[in-house]
Amino acid sequence: MRCGVATVNLFRVGIRLVDERLRLAEGPTRVLFISSPGIDPAPYGVNSAVAALKEGLEVTYLVNNKPADAIRAVADLMGFDLEEWESTGQLRILDSFSGYMNIPSNEEHRLDTPQDTNAMIESICDLTSEGNVVIFDSLSSYIDMCEGGETDGMERLMRVVGSLCEEHHFVGLFSTWGYEPKNIQTIREAFDTVLALQPVERLTIVRQFLRAEKIDGQVVPDFVVPIKVMQPGGVRVFFPKILVTGPFHSGKSSIVQAISTSSVSVDRLGTTIAMDHGYLDYKGFAADIFGTPGQENFDPILEYLAEEAVAVILVVDATKPDTFPRARTMLQLTKGYALPLVVAANFSDLEESLTPDQVRDGLGLQSNVPVIPTIAVRGSGAEELLEMIFELLMSEEGLTLGDGEKEDNDEED
């Protein structure tokens, strides 16, 4: 069974770096989010839906393992209001759950016989015009709910996926609950883009990573990025700790404030005595920012503050080269030499400030370490700092920022 002839628009899943590659696709996009048990894939479905809606595409969101309201609640937590899109008919949440449970439903779009595969395909095709988006939440529950067990569930599922993928962008959410490996492989092969959601677990999940197994049919080696569902905010490539360090009165707190979306400082008598903390949300990236105190009597805690940092911004007063030895000591204490490093040459507007090359030489750093002139209290140079630190982080992850970033920036402006 097929729905019609394909005429498709470009589709995004709302995740920076993945979207930059998906934009190259011309035909329907088939995206599989495959998650370890315990990671809830629903936010990734909602994120994809919202990204598509913002692009002007129509979305049918099929939900079979919870009430449709649960999807609205997930969206609400992520800071997305679906009501307007639903009221205009651009978004249709298709309730395939109440039919399974045999419970009443007030949903406008409802599948009364979700066990009937043909009826399901027909309903989705009726609702979704060609070239638009179907989100299927969830493929694994569909298998689990088939009375005939895994083999029967797989056979039915492949019919659904095969029928819907030809003319629609299709996003499937799948949790790997110990199915037969050959079945998991079959599902992987049915999709052009496979994004694995993987946990770092210490009894409980402490972090999530997104690993792209393939994008648009092409295997993508070494594509692994840390990821987090922000509430609110949606899915973000997330770096858990960027450290801002540097000598006393170099302007660290001002830099933290300048680059953060929100921040707080623990101060006494105008100087930081514990740490600064900021949260950063920038062009699809998110990060927690930790600023250290600069005074030597806090050196014993520097090592601890720097634990698990993924990058360092070293702030120096570009007019005071006599503080550079202290800056080098702080880099050693925070292990900054071993991490992606950017130097903020602060107070760069003052006449006596050194040039970036002079600052780099004065700090004894290699020529490839970026030095960005900043005037932290005015926020000048903050964007350049962010661009540079994320570029370094991405190259550490084996990735590079794509051309899409300029477009993103223009959109946000």
Residue 338, interface with another protein (CB under 8 A)?
no
Among 1, 24, 27, 101, binds another protein (CB under 8 A): 101
CB of 182 to another protein, least distance (A): 15
CB of 53 to another protein, least distance (A): 22
**Tokens (6 digits) for 116:** 């009937």
Q: Which residue type occupies 309?
A: A
Among 27, 38, 232, 398, binds another protein (CB under 8 A): 38
For tokens 């911004």, the residue is: 313
**Would you say 100 or 209 has its CB closer to another protein?**
100
CA dihedral of residues 248, 254, 260, 262 (deg, nearest 10) = 110
Among 48, 163, 175, 374, binds another protein (CB under 8 A): 175
- Please give the residues from 124 up to 153 whose contact with another protein meets the rule CB under 8 A: 138, 140-141, 143-150, 153
**Would you say 179 or 239 has its CB closer to another protein?**
179
Peptide bond into 232 cis (omega under 30): yes
Residue 181, interface with another protein (CB under 8 A)?
no
- Other Cβ atoms within 10 Å of 182 Cβ, number: 8
Among 22, 39, 78, 275, binds another protein (CB under 8 A): 39
Whether the CB-CB separation of 116 and 64 falls below 8 Å is answered with no
CB of 390 to another protein, least distance (A): 30
**Would you say 67 or 291 has its CB closer to another protein?**
67
Buried b (16+ CB within 10 A) or exposed e, 21-33: bbbebeebbbbbb
DSSP 289-315: EEE---SGGGHHHHHHHTTT--EEEEE
CB of 87 to another protein, least distance (A): 19
Give the span between the Cα atoms of 134 and 123, in whole angstroms. Answer: 12
Peptide bond into 138 cis (omega under 30): yes
CB of 183 to another protein, least distance (A): 11
CB of 119 to another protein, least distance (A): 19
**Would you say 76 or 361 has its CB closer to another protein?**
76
For tokens 């309903």, the residue is: 123
Whether the CB-CB separation of 175 and 58 falls below 8 Å is answered with no
Give the span between the Cα atoms of 328 and 316, in whole angstroms. Answer: 10
Q: Which residue type occupies 399?
A: L
* DSSP H or E segment with residue 357: helix 356-363
Among 5, 26, 56, 178, binds another protein (CB under 8 A): 178
**Would you say 69 or 86 has its CB closer to another protein?**
69
CB of 270 to another protein, least distance (A): 35
Binding span for another protein by CB under 8 A among 114-122, 162-170, 202-210, 323-331: 202-210
- Other Cβ atoms within 10 Å of 183 Cβ, number: 16
Write out the residues near another protein by the rule CB under 8 A: 35, 37-42, 64-67, 69-70, 73, 97, 100-101, 103, 138, 140-141, 143-150, 153, 175, 177-179, 203-205
